[in-house]
Amino acid sequence: MPEDSINHIDFDELNKKATSLPIVTHLYTADPSAHVFENKIYIYPSHDIDAGEAFDDLGSHFAMEDYHVFSMDHIEGDVKDHGIALHVNDVKWAEKQMWAPDANEKDGKYYLFFPAKDYDGIFRIGVAISDLPYGPFTPQPDAIKGSFSIDPAVFKDDDGSYYMYFGGIWGGQLQRWRNGVFNASHPDSPTAFLPKDNEPALLPFIAKMTDDLLQFDESPKEVEIVDENGNLLLSGDNNRRFFEAAWLHKYKGKYYFSYSTGDTHFICYAIGNNPYGPFTYSGRILNPVVGWTSHHSICEFKGKWYLFYHDSSLSKGVTHLRSVKIAEIKYNEDGTIQTLDPYL
């Protein structure tokens, strides 16, 4: 939803029309990563705070410094806040900006995957481990070797393999890695080094994880998102091209790669036949919400599928103070997903 329209919103009326209401109201939460562990829903969001940072397109105002984990026994049940699971002060290599995390489980251990800026101002991705799904999590002393950018999402396939998807442009720095090394020039420009509109859009990355889930087992590879003719989406196609917020889920044998278009505020998806893709653009899952960003996850629970997302309705439109929401998603017979409107 355009920023210049927020001042004209009647938020009481908006919430009456909302498809869903915030599930956490005692603090601000965003970028929810949802999983079912031990027959409960566990949600791993970022924790929005008002740190007094100036608003800019680099995302400096998103100054998050810790993670809380939330659980639910039922999709409409009470939400339990398990408190701080990890703080930036506990991560030796990280200085600031603990952005959108993800989590997964293997052999009774729980792994929290998170991006943060190191002391050189470069986003890296770290791992922290716990015996419990809600933590507290103990971080590894160093970031994953070869990691960069933001928004890690770790998918477990049916054969027991784990894959990390990651990447985000503008403040997420993906465009600064186009030549394989970090380009530190023009530090105040979020759009420096982006492809031209008629060139292929920047792509997210995938890497298979090692057996201990602590490192990449291969060099990260680009995840191709193509149109119906098999051509890569173009950089200027900003209603469909990837911006950030990678997520993968599997439905009836097909792999669904979903993501945010960022500055155009859609959650879109593309379908492929294996974890590496290519993925063919197939439509929108969610139309724009109040607030600048859109970031989500998709999870099956008790035979139904749910979209976990956020908006800024609780903060009355403050961009960096967001709140997690849940809505059921439905599939058509051909496997496409019905588009959700966040406000009816």
pLDDT digits (tens, 9 = 90+) for 27-57: 999 999 999 999 999 999 999 998 776 677 7
Give yes or no for residue 133 having a pLDDT over 50. Answer: yes
* Residue range 102-123: mean pLDDT, rounded: 98
Q: What is the pTM of this model?
A: 0.96
Distance between CA atoms of 157 and 3, rounded to whole angstroms? 39
State residue 57's pLDDT score: 78
Note whether 225 and 232 are within 8 A (CB): yes
Provide the pLDDT for residue 257: 99
pLDDT (average), residues 304-313: 97
Residue 75: per-residue pLDDT: 95
In the set 31, 48, 102, 224, the catalytic residue is 31
Beta bridge mates, 298:
307
Active site residue 341: no
Q: Is the pLDDT of residue 203 over 60?
A: yes
Our CA angle for 3, 313, 166, nearest 5°, is: 75
pLDDT of residue 54: 65
pLDDT(7) > 70? no
Catalytic position from the list 76, 244, 263, 311: 244
The mean-pLDDT minimum among 49-63, 152-166, 236-250 falls in 49-63
- Residue 247 pLDDT: 99
Catalytic annotation present for 48? no
- The Cα-based distances of 100 to 77, 123, 199, 232 in angstroms read 24, 12, 28, 26
Query: Which two structure tokens, joined as six digits, stand for 288?
Result: 């724009």
The pLDDT of residue 335 is above 70? yes
Per-residue confidence at 4, pLDDT binned at 50, 70, 90? very low
Q: Residue 87's closest CA among 63, 61, 68?
A: 68
Percent of the chain with pLDDT over 70: 97
In this prediction, residues 106-131 reach a mean pLDDT of 98
**Domain 3-329, classified CATH 2.115.10.20, yes or no:** yes
Q: Domain boundaries in the chain?
A: 3-329
